[in-house]
């Protein structure tokens, strides 16, 4: 039986990916600021509305304010008004089972403008402060993911990770690894235990009435790079243990030179277990979003 793939919202890209992305796997999109990663992420999230009956969710890890303009893009591209789950707002666990109250589209984990994210830029005390801040926000993040997954969301887009020379030096990558492995890739009842804690038994009947299969949830990680040119991205080395080495699919987005002008192009560098079109495909950002010029 052929596994159902998640469509990206871009038919030409789905063709290059042998039908789309595999659910339950990690896809990483790399490119410089402004290349079009966020538009691609929003198109993937919006495509869930038609394919799974629920649009995907956006988890923003930027530390320098809302530079990604998710709300503006979503409204312009799809007339989609993002409902935000504020990370510091009190969350009533009794509301989780009410889809109208619990379903949110967007959460911004760190809203502290100008915060440095790499270990080499910080004193030890600053690194400890990051960890403490993340722990404080973790319950809200768990609630955000869980309350969406129990109501049918099967796509997550994670944005806002800043470029670093070594991912292992970045606090954002530490936070991503936790979210990915300890929330997105755990059985639903174990996520519920982490969320409800002492109240788990009193909610157990409702938890069992709202199961979900984490292996059906796709994750698109949008990773900002120093490299601007597509050729430089293609030659970029992958560290052992790097998130890229664990990704099922890697999509590169960068600039290419055509004669005396620059344009944008996309390349699928990795698509494990699938036939893949390895062409360099030009694309444009149009009013309707990212459009491949094939």
Following DSSP, what letter does each residue of 64-83 receive, concatenated?
A: SSSTT-HHHHHHHHH---PP
Can you tell me the distance from the alpha carbon of 189 to that of 283, in angstroms, rounded to the nearest whole number? 42
DSSP run (H or E) holding 8? none
What's the pLDDT score for residue 239?
64
* Residue among 143, 53, 59 at smallest CA distance from 95: 143
Which ranges of the chain does DSSP label H, i.e. alpha helix? 11-16, 37-51, 70-78, 99-102, 124-149, 171-179, 188-196, 200-209, 230-234, 243-246
Can you tell me the distance from the alpha carbon of 66 to that of 114, in angstroms, rounded to the nearest whole number? 12
Can you tell me the distance from the alpha carbon of 33 to that of 160, in angstroms, rounded to the nearest whole number? 10
pLDDT tens for each residue of 26-57: 999 999 999 999 999 999 999 999 999 999 99
Residue 228, Cβ density class (10 Å: 0-12 exposed, 13-18 middle, ≥19 buried): middle
Whether the Cβ atoms of residue 270 and residue 48 lie closer than 8 Å to each other: no
According to DSSP, residue 281 is labeled E
Q: Token pair of 41, please?
A: 């992420």
Q: Token pair of 227, please?
A: 């490299």
pLDDT string in tens for the chain (294-residue length): 456 899 999 999 999 999 999 999 999 999 999 999 999 999 999 999 999 999 999 999 988 755 568 999 999 999 999 999 999 888 889 899 999 999 999 999 887 655 666 767 777 787 788 788 888 899 999 999 999 999 999 999 999 888 877 777 788 888 899 999 999 999 999 999 999 999 999 999 999 999 999 999 999 999 999 999 999 999 988 765 677 888 999 999 999 998 899 999 999 999 998 888 989 999 999 988 899 997
pTM recorded for the entire structure: 0.93
DSSP reduced 3-state for 142: helix
């Amino acid at each position: 039986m052929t596994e159902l793939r998640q469509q990206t919202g871009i038919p030409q890209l789905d063709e290059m990916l042998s039908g789309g992305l595999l659910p339950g796997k990690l896809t990483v999109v790399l490119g410089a600021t402004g290349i079009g990663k966020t538009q691609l992420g929003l198109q993937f999230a919006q495509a869930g509305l038609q394919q799974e009956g629920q649009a995907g969710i956006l988890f923003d890890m930027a530390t320098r304010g809302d530079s990604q303009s998710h709300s503006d893009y979503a409204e312009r591209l799809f007339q989609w008004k993002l409902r935000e789950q504020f990370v510091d707002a009190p969350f009533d666990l009794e509301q989780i089972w009410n889809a109208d109250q619990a379903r949110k589209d967007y959460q911004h984990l760190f809203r502290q403008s100008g915060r440095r994210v790499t270990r080499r830029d910080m004193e030890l005390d600053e690194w400890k402060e990051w960890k403490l801040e993340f722990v404080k926000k973790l319950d809200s993040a768990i609630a955000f993911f869980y309350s969406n997954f129990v109501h049918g969301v099967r796509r997550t887009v994670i944005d806002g990770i800043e470029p670093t020379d070594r991912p292992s030096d970045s606090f954002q990558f530490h936070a991503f690894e936790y979210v990915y492995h300890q929330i997105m890739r755990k059985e639903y009842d174990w996520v519920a235990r982490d969320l409800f804690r002492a109240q788990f038994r009193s909610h157990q009947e409702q938890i069992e009435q709202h199961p979900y299969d984490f292996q059906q949830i796709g994750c698109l990680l949008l990773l900002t790079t120093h490299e601007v040119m597509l050729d430089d991205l293609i030659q970029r080395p992958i560290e052992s243990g790097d998130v890229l080495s664990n990704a099922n699919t890697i999509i590169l987005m960068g600039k290419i030179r055509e004669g005396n002008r620059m344009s944008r192009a996309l390349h699928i560098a990795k698509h494990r277990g699938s036939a893949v079109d390895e062409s360099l495909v030009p694309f444009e950002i149009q009013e309707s979003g990212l459009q491949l010029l094939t």
